[in-house]
Amino acid sequence: MTQTSYAELIGVCAGALLLTSVLTVWYRSQRASVRALGAQGVALAALVAVVAIDRAEAELIPVIALVLVLKGLVLPWVLTRRRTPAAGARAGADHGEETMLLNPVAILVAAALLAVVAYAVTWPLVADSLSPAAHAAPVGVAMVLIGFLVLLTRRRAISQLVGFLALDNGIATVAFLISGGVPLLLEFGASLDILLVTLILVVFSRQMRTVFGDTDVDRMRELHD
């Protein structure tokens, strides 16, 4: 693979990641957000594949598989899964329209600003590097910040989980772009953590729904001693 085509491919993957990231924050529907998150997972796997081919590291192959399966398929599936057919009707409300704390235009402007901030703060770090992958690192930071934005602007628990996972994808992206990923064992550990956290939070949000009839975290404001 030539240096130019490598840079092109990295650029495409990074672009896809940034786009999906913006989509997760822009979509009003939870289901669509989760789908965008899945697409982001696939894009991340593609990015890892490009890095793996360039570095000719066979060790990254299981990582590609792991990212593809976990971030592209399993996590989105866990987030959209309905509990039981009977409860599905009610759960539908939870997968539907999300009332946001900011309007979509404001969110897009905020996402753009965050991307600028990410570029501004990351560029000095990677400017000296010759690798095209490192030059794409601001995208990862922007994903982290946009993930945070999702966390901030959504009310429902599941949408917040989407934000959390988008944030995590951003961290993984930075790791892959700058250093070609972390050691395999660490990657496994981190992925397992993410999966566990997501499972626990999904169960937790169901509990919330049973107790409050809703998963609007704004309702949980009462402080206890």
Contact stretch for other proteins (CB under 8 A) within 34-42, 43-51, 85-93, 215-223: 215-223
Distance CA 165, CA 171 (A): 10
| Contact assessment for residue 131 and residue 191, using Cβ atoms and an 8 Å cutoff | no
Residue 217 CB, nearest approach to other proteins (Å): 5
Tokens for 144, please give them. Answer: 């982290």
Q: Of 48, 49, 39, 50, which Cα lies nearest the Cα of 16?
A: 39
Q: What minimum distance in Å lies between the beta carbon of 122 and other proteins?
A: 8
Of 57 and 218, CB closest to other proteins: 218
Length of the chain: 225
Residue 73 engages other proteins in binding (rule: CB under 8 A):
no
**CB-CB contact of 27 with 36 (8 Å):** yes
72 or 140: CB nearest other proteins: 140
**Which range of residues in 88-96, 146-154, 171-179, 197-205 is near other proteins by CB under 8 A?**
146-154
Total Cβ atoms within 10 A of residue 74: 17
Which residues ranging from 89 to 128 are in contact with other proteins (CB under 8 A)? 101, 117, 120-121, 124
* 3-class secondary structure, 153: helix
State the residues that interact with other proteins by CB under 8 A.
101, 117, 120-121, 124, 141, 144-145, 148-149, 151-152, 160, 217-218, 220-223
